[in-house]
Every structure is written in C-alpha cells, then in structure tokens.
Amino acid sequence: MPEIQYPQGFPRFSPQLRTLNEARKITGRWLAEYNSERPHESLNNLTPEEYRLMAENPEVSKSAWN
C-alpha cells in the first residue's frame, strides 16, 4: 500500500484519535489556521485575512505591495 502524502503541517493520523468527531475537530482547527493565520507565498507572504483586508481597503494594498 503506498504511503499517504499529506500537505505540509497537516496533522498526521495518531492512535490517540478515538472518534471521527475528534478527527474532524483537529482537521477543522488545522484548516482554520492554514486558511486564516499562515502566510501564503501566493499572497505575497500575507495571511488570507490580511489579503482580504487589503482587498477591502485599496489604499492600504497599494503601499503593501510596493
């Protein structure tokens, strides 16, 4: 059986996970962190939240990208 390739930082399977709901909770936390707190290279090393705020305020975005 081939080894599963997980995204960087994704929580690996752990024998401590006892239920599907527990796995969902851990995965949900990881997704929230990845999508809102971690800088993304494709967003000029901004977090998605920072990028969203810049898109809402174009004056801020002009100075941040220069």
State pLDDT tens for residues 23-47: 899 889 888 888 888 888 998 899 8
What pLDDT, on a 0 to 100 scale, did the predictor assign at position 38? 87
Q: Is residue 7 part of a domain?
A: no
* Cα distance between residue 7 and residue 34, in whole Å: 11
- Per-residue pLDDT at 20: 87
Using CA atoms, how far residue 44 sits from 11, 47, 57, 58, in Å, is: 25, 9, 17, 15
In a domain, 5, yes or no: no
Whether 1 is in a domain gets the answer no
Residue 54 has pLDDT above 60, yes or no: yes
**Residue ranges making up the domain that contains 24:** 20-64
Q: Indicate the number of domains in the chain.
A: 1
**Inside any domain, residue 47:** yes
pLDDT band (50, 70, 90) for residue 12: low
